[in-house]
Amino acid sequence: MTSETKTAPGGTFALGGDLTVNRLGYGAMRIVGKGVWGPPEDHDRVLAVLREAVARGVNFIDTADSYGPFYSEELIKEALHPYPEDLVIATKGGFVRTGPDEWTMLGKPAYLRQQVETSLRRLGVERIDLYQLHRVDPDYPLADQVGELKALRDEGKIRHIGLSEVDVETLEEARETVEIVSVQNMYNVASRASEAVLDHAEANGIGFIPWFPVGVGKLARPGGVLDDIAKETGATPAQLALAWLLRRSPVMLPIPGTSSPEHLAENMAAAEIELTDEQFEAIAKAAE
């Protein structure tokens, strides 16, 4: 594959005030097998896509110990270690995997500690840049779950802490125990249930990592707003969806994931798209 000159896709954001990342990142859930289970069908292709993502300017990669499980972290290390100095790798813990498409929450503090330790080894790092609680387990006090992550941070094994799939109330409860620098919720042009969380994150300088960022729903159907703008601009609906997210908020950190070099190139090109005010508002209103 032909690599392009490194740029800052979509501008930059400083996670926790001290980790500057290019806002258009890469999500590493899809580099494993079907059902987010087992190894990838094409091992070498996955390694090549990871390397190409970094070559194209990605310096923020999001993964989790549950992706595979474990395979995603191992593939990242195989492809990219020793890591570029500016590469920020975020991972997550808090799920137990028992089979394809099976996800069981486990926020027991001792389990979270174990997962941090094993992620450190799989990624080949001494400290994890951003460690996210993959889900808040209702069977354990939130203060105990994030409190254990705080202890690991204080021990130098985690640099920053984030949460995934939380509301504003839960985010604020967690912040009473430890600083939270990011939130990862589902959010895209067609699904905006986390609008209040995004606004709260922006107001407090917290990074917002939308998972499933290229979800377009009915907006890309013939006659839909994304279809219409795609015809006007020559961009794809997925590119427009990413461009809209990048404009929506300066704390937005989309992480489109793919194991296809063609889709990677398409996603990265979205950072160069500048929506007009009218196009931005049309997309915003279409999902309201």
The residue type found at 174 is A
Q: 12-213+251-257: what fold? A: TIM Barrel (3.20.20)
User: Shortest CA distance to 38 belongs to which of 93, 80, 97?
Assistant: 97
Tokens read off for 121: 């080894």
Residue 215's Cβ-count burial label (10 Å; 0-12, 13-18, 19+) is middle
In the residue annotation, 71 being an active-site residue is answered as: no
Cα four-point dihedral sign 204, 212, 270, 217: negative
Q: Give Cβ neighbours of residue 114 (< 8 Å, ≥ 6 apart).
A: none
In sequence order, the 6+-apart residues with CB closer than 8 A to the CB of 168 are 196, 197, 200
Residues β-bridged to residue 158? 128
Q: Which one-letter amino acid corresponds to residue 117?
A: E
Q: Determine how β-strand 12-15 pairs with β-strand 19-22.
A: antiparallel
Who's near 261: CB < 8 A, 6+ residues apart?
Answer: 1, 45, 48, 49, 52
pLDDT tens by residue, the chain, 288 residues:
233 434 466 899 999 999 999 999 999 999 999 999 999 999 999 999 999 999 999 999 999 999 999 999 999 999 999 999 999 999 999 999 999 999 999 999 999 999 999 999 999 999 999 999 999 999 999 999 999 999 999 999 999 999 999 999 999 999 999 999 999 999 999 999 999 999 999 999 999 999 999 999 999 999 999 999 999 999 999 999 999 999 999 999 999 999 999 999 999 999 999 999 999 999 999 976
The answer to whether the Cα torsion of 247, 83, 149, 70 is positive or negative is: positive
Of 67, 71, 83, 131, catalytic: 67
Burial class (CB in 10 A: 0-12, 13-18, 19+), 2: exposed
